[in-house]
Amino acid sequence: MTETKARPTGVPQPTAPPLIAGNRVSAPAGHCTPAGDRHGASVIGGHDAMGTDEHEAPVILEQARGRVDPELRAALESLPGAMRRIGLYHFGWQHADGTPAAGNAGKAIRPALVLTAATALGGPTAGERAVRAAAAVELVHNFTLLHDDVMDRDASRRHRPTAWTVFGVPDAILAGDALQALALRLLAEDPHPASGAAATRLVDCVIELCEGQQADTALEKRDPAEVTLDEVLTMAEAKTGALIGCACAVGALYAGAGEDEVAALDAFGRQAGLAFQLIDDVIGIWGDPSRTGKPAGADLAARKKSLPVVAALTSGTPAAAELAELYARAYDEKDLERTALAVERAGGRDWAQTQAADRMGRAMQELARAVPDPESAGGLLTLAEFVTRRSS
Q: Which residues bind to a copy of itself, rule: CB under 8 A? A: 79-83, 143-144, 147, 150-151, 169-171, 173-178, 180-182, 184-185, 188-189, 196, 199-200, 203-204, 206-208, 210-211, 213-215, 217-218
Distance, CA of 335 to chain centre: 32
Which stretches of 215-371 are assigned E, i.e. beta strand?
A: none
Distance, CA of 16 to chain centre: 19
State in angstroms the smallest separation of the CB of 150 from a copy of itself: 7
State in angstroms the smallest separation of the CB of 41 from a copy of itself: 34
Which is nearer to a copy of itself, 249 or 311 (by Cβ)? 249
Which is nearer to a copy of itself, 242 or 267 (by Cβ)? 242
Q: What is the Cα–Cα distance from 361 to 271, expressed in whole angstroms?
A: 9
Q: Which amino acid is at 40?
A: G
Which is nearer to a copy of itself, 36 or 81 (by Cβ)? 81
Using alpha carbons only, how large is the chain's radius of gyration in Å?
A: 21
Which among 12, 9, 8, 3 has a CA at the least distance from the CA of 286? 12
Q: What is the Cα–Cα distance from 379 to 64, expressed in whole angstroms?
A: 12
State in angstroms the smallest separation of the CB of 274 from a copy of itself: 18
Q: What is the Cα–Cα distance from 370 to 259, expressed in whole angstroms?
A: 10
Distance, CA of 367 to chain centre: 17
Q: What is the Cα–Cα distance from 7 to 349, expressed in whole angstroms?
A: 21
State in angstroms the smallest separation of the CB of 121 from a copy of itself: 22
3-state secondary structure (DSSP) of residue 93: coil
3-state secondary structure (DSSP) of residue 203: helix
State in angstroms the smallest separation of the CB of 173 from a copy of itself: 6
Which is nearer to a copy of itself, 151 or 321 (by Cβ)? 151
Q: What pairing do the DSSP bridges indicate for beta strands 156-157 and 160-161? A: antiparallel
- For residue 220, the surrounding DSSP H or E stretch is helix 195-221
DSSP for 148-175, please give it.
Answer: HHHHHT--EETTEE-HHHHH-HHHHHHH
State in angstroms the smallest separation of the CB of 237 from a copy of itself: 12
Which among 392, 382, 229 has a CA at the least distance from the CA of 311? 229
Which is nearer to a copy of itself, 84 or 362 (by Cβ)? 84
Which is nearer to a copy of itself, 7 or 185 (by Cβ)? 185
Which is nearer to a copy of itself, 227 or 367 (by Cβ)? 227
Which is nearer to a copy of itself, 13 or 195 (by Cβ)? 195
State in angstroms the smallest separation of the CB of 138 from a copy of itself: 16
Q: What is the Cα–Cα distance from 115 to 204, expressed in whole angstroms?
A: 20
State in angstroms the smallest separation of the CB of 197 from a copy of itself: 8
State in angstroms the smallest separation of the CB of 143 from a copy of itself: 8
Q: What is the Cα–Cα distance from 76 to 267, expressed in whole angstroms?
A: 31
3-state secondary structure (DSSP) of residue 315: coil
Q: What are phi and psi of 170, to 5 degrees?
A: -55, -45
Which is nearer to a copy of itself, 67 or 129 (by Cβ)? 129
State in angstroms the smallest separation of the CB of 290 from a copy of itself: 32
Which is nearer to a copy of itself, 140 or 323 (by Cβ)? 140
Q: What is the Cα–Cα distance from 217 to 35, expressed in whole angstroms?
A: 46
